[in-house]
Amino acid sequence: MPQHELPALDVESSPQSNYQAFFSALRRSEFSGDIEFSYASRLSVATDNSIYQALPQGVVLPKSVADLQVIGELASQFEDVAFSARGGGTGTNGQSLTSGIIVDVSRHMNNILEINPQERWVKVQAGVVKDQLNDALRPYGLFFAPDLSTSNRATIGGMVNTDASGQGSLVYGKTSDHVLGLTSVLADGTLLESSPMSMDEAKKVAEQKSTTGRLVKQILTTCVDKRQQILAKFPRMNRFLTGYDLEHALSDDLSTVDISRVIAGSEGSLAFVAEAKLNVTPISKHKALVNIKYDSFESALRHAPHMVAAKATSVETVDSNVLNLAKQDIIWHQVKELIKEVENKEVLGLNMVEYNGDSEDELREKITLLCANLDSALDSNEGGVIGYQITYDNADIGKIYAMRKKSVGLLGKTKGRKKPLAFVEDTGVPPENLADFIMEFRALLDARNLHYGMFGHVDAGVLHVRPALDMCDPEQEAMIPDISNEVSALVAKYGGLLWGEHGKGYRSEYAPAFFGEELYTELRKIKAAFDPLNKMNPGKICTPIDSHASLVTVGDVKRGEFDRQIPIAMRDAFAPAMNCNGNGLCFNYDTTSTMCPSSKITSDRRHSPKGRAGAMREWLRLLANKQVDVNLLEVQGKTQNFLKRLNNTMGKAQSNDFSHEVLEVMDGCLACKACSSQCPVSVDVPTFRARFLSIYYQRYMRPAKDYLVGNIEAMAPLMAKTPRLINAFLKQQWMNKLIKKTVGYVDTPLLSSPSLKKQLAGHQAGQFDLGSLQALSANERARKVLIVQDPFTSFYEADLLHDLVKLIECLGYEPILLPFMPNGKPQHVKGFLKEFASTAKDSADFLNKLAPLGIPMIGVDPSLVLCYRDEYNKVLGETRGSFEVKLVHEWLATITLPERGSSTDSQYAFFGHCTEKTALPESEKHWQQLFQRVGMSLTPISVGCCGMAGTFGHEASHLEQSKGIYALSWEKAIAKFDTSKILATGYSCRSQVARIEGEKPKHPLQAMLAHLS
Ligand SMILES: Cc1cc2nc3c(=O)[nH]c(=O)nc-3n(C[C@H](O)[C@H](O)[C@H](O)COP(=O)(O)OP(=O)(O)OC[C@H]3O[C@@H](n4cnc5c(N)ncnc54)[C@H](O)[C@@H]3O)c2cc1C
Ligand code: SF4
Ligand code: SF4
């Protein structure tokens, strides 16, 4: 019998007693990092981009090498306490998953320690993100060459331990090719410094009784004694057999030995990597990218080796599935001019061929030769080439690669329950075998009627293939081992590797077959020398010799096992949370990207779209296991009576209800909506967050600030009747203290004085009358513009709305201010969903009545105007009607603008609102074009979120974070300009700048008005 009340949700597992004892001991020790074992923290690292799920006992986040040593030393006293190191958590095969403890180096150990441009090396902590490093190296004309699609969140520690590589690997090699030295910590806390040593020195060290001596002795015994077998077994491929790399532990001439080469690719199964000294490479001065279009994917594959032979630096490929998905994504806006359609032909395969050169002449020569070949292929209809485009522009090249890097995410957007999955996705075969291999691979998948998209590094013979399966269906899950076995046999047939790029993880069970029994035994000896007690990522790659522990397998527990406990209707209703595939794009380190400000400021994986989606899924699962239908709760759920809610709330501190953890995770969300459009599978946190809040508060008391925010649209018009009086109160310190104490609200904004009503008294714009508008002729209506009010602009920035009235008049139109109708966005943000539905209906009814007039309706604040498009659609469905509210720039783009001469006074910096930039990615460009049309100049500034996000920044509990987010990207960017030259489209952004800098920037429409009038 389904329940109608939200029950308390006990979490299903607490850390085991030995782990609890370890955490207590760690807390008492010198350890200076963080120790977290809340259920939500553990869940946030229980998944990666793979199909597996393993709940760790807790997460420890060290701050230094010494912290890692303390962890190891202490763990020696705790039998069965095991670890897995973790960086970005972007593994595709469960590499970092463990039921032990996650040691996450990404939060604190992320400093670049030294850059030596003369000798071309850097020293970094393991948690440094690859793009972070390259941003720091760029001013020196250098870069860390091994590339990977996850470069904006994958860490150096993760790259070293998976021996990451990607685009350009033929020229730039793998990560291990660039490791000059490592500082590592062994499972018992021993510090290990490794760098290449001469064979003579190595032999001496091997004699020592030290830990290093033991390791070197084993490495020498294995790698020297078994050299012939190793060379015979390891494939002669660019993507050599990593984990453990017995071949490259010795130099080709056997003159040097390097322990780092064994650690590289070991997937955390040998040691914690704390710091790395890396070789860095000069950035090529000249680059060109040729995008070659084909009539089929097979044509693209078969053509690629010719490009390699023609000395291309790299050849990347995508098939038509990926291309078509990219066309529907926000990213296509950036690349559509660079990959134009071919007339009367369909582009079914694309090769992106990069050429680098030290001089422009050298580069042009290579490109001319290539073009001659391509032209002749086009003329003779050979090789399936149907067109090509060249770009020499670095920014454009970056855009194309950003599209290619997003491929996996794009595939994840596939509609339906079957989702593309990583489990055989990084096969590598000698490039000359690739096309034949892929044809057989396709046949294998086609025989099972599976859909898939393909893309990858054709130059290295590595292709990414993700078959789509519904892991909630046990029958489909059962296909995983079968397909894995068949693909494993197929790569062996073509002389390749099952793990051409991403490492082994749960595929470690295939390691004995790939290494052969003799060499696999050697791996186990090496593991025993490093980690005799099997504490480091147990089950991955191999087990210590003489141990009876087992390897992880592809048949192990998967996420589907948990997800399928949630009934289908609930899964469908919360699809955005279910669809998160853990690729980690929402951890983007770049502070100027809009993606998840709360993740950036907290460095806490719980407070990211991924963390929130994971918490949501678990909440749904726990509810389902209690026979609670969330869909029913939403519609018929009973809000418990006041006394019950008060009682529940008072007992909150004592209760283990998991809903509190979910609330905490949702509370940090700014509802900026960046995830809704930037996440490749559109994990829309604000929507499920609002739904969660609406249900949570059926059981618990709401904080007073929620009522304040939820009712702001009702209160503001009333307060605006006597702005001077209200402001006089708000200016009092005691009043601010009182508001902060009682409602938890800070820096309450002052109302506009004189009010909008006063400013427009007697003005034609204030005379709305539907009947008169209906009576107008079409020509008369064509001169009118309806202004849709929002509470923030109308009551707190009346001057801006007055300026809009003036601008419309100045452009030859007649503005009419519509009566204020609440929009409902603040109610939605706080999860007053029933109230929001009713507000939205009233507002939509009103606006639909006006729509037939055919008069443009425009609004100023992006977040509220966009609410009409997104949240209204979701809540009202068909009944939303067809009314359209345009943003100011959208309306301006439809009319003729007067031409004016340009002047130096009319140059501005543009700070877009993040909801607007992500939902309407061309908005910055459009404002720029509009300014140009009237002789003004606008430079869009690359910034992330301002930290205000509606009322988030006004809530005392978020104040520090709000200011911290501002400091991430806005502070420095704003400091570069005079405030009079700064334009911002968001009310929140303008308020945040005003509160922090003391001066309020203007809206672009105000600058345009000043220029035109
Ligand atoms: C969409 C997508 C695209 C990808 N594309 C590529 C690609 O182009 N090329 C490529 O090579 N890979 C790719 N990968 C795989 C993945 O991004 C890489 O393996 C990356 O190197 C992992 O880095 P991370 O920081 O996320 O490591 P994690 O996933 O956190 O960890 C990976 C492994 O390294 C170990 N580890 C992490 N840090 C340490 C440390 N400090 N000490 C010891 N062990 C540690 C972990 O225990 C684990 O075994 C892709 C993944 C995704 C989701
Ligand atoms: S929320 Fe989106 S971007 Fe983040 S891990 Fe999930 S799918 Fe990837
Ligand atoms: S709405 Fe913004 S803050 Fe919230 S999860 Fe999405 S990106 Fe992060």
Using the mean position of ligand 1's atoms as its centre, give its distance from the Cα of residue 13 in Å: 28
Confirm or reject: Cβ of 45 under 6 Å from ligand 3: no
Report the pLDDT value the prediction gives residue 145, as an integer from 0 to 100.
Answer: 94
Report the pLDDT value the prediction gives residue 569, as an integer from 0 to 100.
Answer: 93
Return the SS3 of 334: helix
Q: Which residues of 850-888 are buried (b: 16+ CB within 10 A; e: fewer)?
A: beebebbbbbbbbbbbbbbebbbeebbeeebeebebbbb
Q: What angle do CA 585, 591, 597 make, to 5 degrees?
A: 70
Using the mean position of ligand 2's atoms as its centre, give its distance from the Cα of residue 410 in Å: 11
Compute the distance between CA of residue 229 and CA of residue 613 in angstroms, rounded to an integer: 48
Q: Which residues of the chain have pLDDT under 50?
A: none
Residues with CB under 6 A from ligand 1: 48-49, 84-92, 95-96, 105, 126, 148-150, 154-155, 157-159, 161-162, 164-166, 267-268, 272-273, 408, 501-503, 537, 583
Work out the angle between the directed axes of helices 65-75 and 17-28 (0-180°, nearest 10): 130
Q: In testing the pocket of ligand 1, which one of 149, 411, 552 has its CB within 8 Å of the most ligand atoms?
A: 149
Token duo for residue 619:
């909440």
Report the pLDDT value the prediction gives residue 2, as an integer from 0 to 100.
Answer: 56
Nearest to 90 by CA among 166, 187, 204, 193: 166
Using the mean position of ligand 1's atoms as its centre, give its distance from the Cα of residue 161 in Å: 7
Strands 101-104 and 83-86, by their bridges, are parallel
Q: Which ligand is nearest to the CA of 96?
A: 1
Q: Which ligand is nearest to the CA of 169?
A: 1
Q: How far from chain centre, in Å, is Cα 997? A: 30
Confirm or reject: Cβ of 679 under 6 Å from ligand 2: yes
Q: Tell me, what DSSP letter sits at residue 958?
A: G
Using the mean position of ligand 1's atoms as its centre, give its distance from the Cα of residue 91 in Å: 5
Angstrom CA distances, 488 to 427, 470, 491, stand at: 9, 22, 5
How many Cβ atoms are within 10 Å of 734's Cβ, its own excluded?
A: 8
Residue owning the nearest CA to atom 6 of ligand 2: 580
Report the pLDDT value the prediction gives residue 786, as an integer from 0 to 100.
Answer: 97
Report the pLDDT value the prediction gives residue 921, as an integer from 0 to 100.
Answer: 86
CB distance 968 to 601 below 8 Å:
yes
Confirm or reject: Cβ of 613 under 6 Å from ligand 2: yes
Compute the distance between CA of residue 954 and CA of residue 551 in angstroms, rounded to an integer: 52
Token duo for residue 366:
């290579």
Compute the distance between CA of residue 314 and CA of residue 288 in angstroms, rounded to an integer: 11
Task: Tell me which amino acid residue 36 is.
Answer: E
Global pTM value: 0.93
Task: Tell me which amino acid residue 211 is.
Answer: T
Nearest to 687 by CA among 701, 670, 673: 673
Q: Which residues of 102-121 are buried (b: 16+ CB within 10 A; e: fewer)?
A: bbbbbbbbbebeebeeeebb
Using the mean position of ligand 2's atoms as its centre, give its distance from the Cα of residue 843 in Å: 33
